[in-house]
Amino acid sequence: MKRGSFTYRLGALSQVFNSFIGQGNRDQTFSARSYEAWLYERWWASTVYHMIDLIFFLEDRHCYNSYLTDNEYTYKKD
């Protein structure tokens, strides 16, 4: 993503939402966290995971793709 683009800003907003409200990893988006929670069968995750995928219906498997992308960047060693 190009820094300063609209999608970059949405990703940053999602990370802020996840870290402050969702109490998750600050480098992980809420979409990725929802997928991860769905994998671990959290009580809230199934509903949220499917709602997010429905909102982003143009991207096939949005939460799953966010999970893969976030893990690639979050745990990358420089």
| pLDDT of the chain, 78 residues: tens digit per residue | 555 677 777 777 777 776 776 666 667 788 888 888 888 888 988 898 899 899 888 888 988 998 888 766 555 444
Looking at beta carbons, which pairs linking 36-40 to residues 24 or more positions away fall under 8 Å?
A: 36/67, 38/63
pLDDT in the model for residue 72: 61
Residues present in the chain in total: 78
Q: Which two tokens stand for residue 75?
A: 């745990």
Q: Are 27 and 41 in contact (CB under 8 A)?
A: no
Q: Are 19 and 25 in contact (CB under 8 A)?
A: yes
Domain boundaries, given as residue ranges, for the chain: 6-74
pLDDT in the model for residue 78: 42
